[in-house]
Amino acid sequence: MRKHRLLLIMAISISIILTGCFQGEQSLEEMDPPQDAEAVDNDLTSSIQSEDSEGENEEVTESEETAEEKTVERELYLIDSNGMVASQTLELPIPESKEVATQVLEYLVKDGPVTQMLPNGFQAVLPADTEVLGLELEEDGTLIVDLSEEFTEYDAKEEIKILEAMTYTLTQFENVEQVKLWVNGHEQEVMPVNGTPIGDGYSRANGINVTESDNIDLINSKAVTMYFPAEHDDNQYFVPVTQHVKAENGDALQAIVDSLVDGPGYVTNLMHVFNAGAQLVETPNLQNGVLDLVFNENVLQDMDNSVISDEVMETLVRTLTEQQDVEAVNVRVENVEQLVNENGEAYSEPVTKETFLPSEKF
């Protein structure tokens, strides 16, 4: 009797244990968890899956954006294949400090960081191993540049080009007006190799790629820096050339435009971009910083579609905005309602040099 009762108790116990086990399995696999917990779990899983499936693309995108943010366009004046000083706009890393002027100088040094990005036909201008020891911007816009002793190791025939390249590169910053040179902590009144005078500072007023002619009346003419396009392989760029222009009727702006239309003269490596017969039909009018120019239809590249070539527009704007009080150029053509560029985009407002050049304060 006791034996039967004991067996019955054992059977019941085993049944209870097995039932509990089955219920435990059901609680893991079949029972719904609390609603809040389900929402958290699903969101978390969804988030992980989203990161797994899209993370790579997001990382690439962020990396690309970071790379874009870490570079900036700078205008460096280098030497082209014809020995002319000309600018190239290059993407430089954004410096950790704000010493952007130091950086552009470092990118003018031969065998320096610019080497791998030099366009075909171009070379750097400062002697190899030249170091920037210090910079100081004075209130009048004079930038004092202190360079190491290695700077003096250049060929005498390169002296003017070096001075022009440094000056034009540094005066791209709107608050730098002129450059004063020091070498190893000592002020320089003249350039150290061939004695080119620097005086109280060298500026764009001193000119660049200066061309002289025996037929020019230097007393009654004005030195003007004009920009003409040039090409090397597939690279098109603009070369600044300073030459004297005589205003026959006393209008200097008219004389400059006429000289641009005539072309670069004997500097044969530069392009003549104006069509034969192109000319102004009205006297240039300057008001509130905007220079208004009206040409005849011969200035157009495509008369049927009122297209003016990009080279013509850039030649005019680059050159004329170098003149005092000219901030923008408004080009019009007689009998044409709306001018467009080579892409068919309308010139709806005056064009400034910032359209073509990077610009930033020092």
Based on the structure, what is the number of domains in the chain? 2
Mean per-residue pLDDT over the chain, rounded: 83
Task: Mention every residue, 6+ apart, whose C-beta is less than 8 A from residue 280.
Answer: 254, 257, 258, 293, 294, 295, 296
Whether 11 is covered by a domain: the verdict is no
Higher pLDDT, 223 or 41: 223
Q: What is the pLDDT of residues 308-324, one digit of tens each?
A: 999 999 999 999 999 99
Domain final residue, candidates 147, 177, 206: 206
Q: What is the pLDDT of residues 112-161, one digit of tens each?
A: 999 999 999 999 999 999 999 999 999 999 999 999 999 999 999 999 99
**Whether residue 182 sits in one domain with residue 142:** yes
**pLDDT at residue 359 in the model:** 58
**What's 298's DSSP letter?**
G
Alpha carbon of 299 to those of 132, 225, 254, 279, 284: distances in Å?
46, 22, 15, 7, 15
Whether 312 is covered by a domain: the verdict is yes
Judged against a pLDDT cut of 80, whether residue 25 lies above it is answered with no
For residues 273 and 311, the answer to whether their CB atoms sit within 8 Å is yes
**DSSP tally for the chain: helices H, then strands E:** 6, 12
What is the percent of the chain where pLDDT is above 90? 67
Domain final residue, candidates 155, 180, 206: 206
Whether 282 is covered by a domain: the verdict is yes
**Whether residue 227 sits in one domain with residue 327:** yes
* pLDDT band, residue 361 (cuts 50/70/90): low
For residues 222 and 192, the answer to whether their CB atoms sit within 8 Å is no
Whether 14 is covered by a domain: the verdict is no
Domain final residue, candidates 172, 206, 240: 206
Q: Is the C-alpha dihedral spanning 331, 334, 340, 346 positive or negative? A: positive
Lowest mean pLDDT among 101-105, 220-224, 313-317: 220-224
C-alpha span between 240 and 213 (Å, rounded) = 17
Residue 290's domain comprises 222-354
**pLDDT at residue 29 in the model:** 37
Judged against a pLDDT cut of 90, whether residue 246 lies above it is answered with no
Q: What is the mean pLDDT of residues 212-237?
A: 83
Name the nearest CA neighbour of 225 among 175, 280, 167, 275.
167
Q: Is the C-alpha dihedral spanning 343, 76, 233, 322 positive or negative? A: positive
Whether 89 is covered by a domain: the verdict is yes
C-alpha span between 173 and 141 (Å, rounded) = 10
**pLDDT at residue 150 in the model:** 98
**pLDDT at residue 180 in the model:** 97
Q: What is the pLDDT of residues 52-94, one digit of tens each?
A: 334 433 333 444 444 455 899 999 999 999 999 999 999 999 9
Q: What is the mean pLDDT of residues 326-352?
A: 97
**Whether residue 161 sits in one domain with residue 259:** no
Q: What is the mean pLDDT of residues 33-46?
A: 35
Cα dihedral 272/225/167/169 (nearest 10): -40
